[in-house]
Amino acid sequence: MIDLTIGYGKIVMANPDDKGQAELVADTDSEVIKIRVDGSYLAQALKACGGMVDFKLTNPSSPMLLSANAVINWW
């Protein structure tokens, strides 16, 4: 599992067991949202999109929408 904290112009990906984290610069347009996702599913989705993606959430309990090059993938 991976904890994602999205907001304030960045995405912080962290291990729930506090074993490490990574911070990415991101163009965010909402308040801070925290979600937990299966890391292997997220990795597969990002690999399938290849390169830059739009990552959209409406709230922490909604499905994620990843889109790249006008191709939409629901995960």
Each residue of 22-71: pLDDT tens digit? 998 988 877 888 888 898 988 888 888 887 788 887 666 777 888 876 44
Closest CA to 20 of 32, 3, 45: 3
Is the pTM here over 0.75, yes or no? no
Residue 51 class from Cβ within 10 Å (0-12 exposed, 13-18 middle, 19+ buried)? Answer: exposed
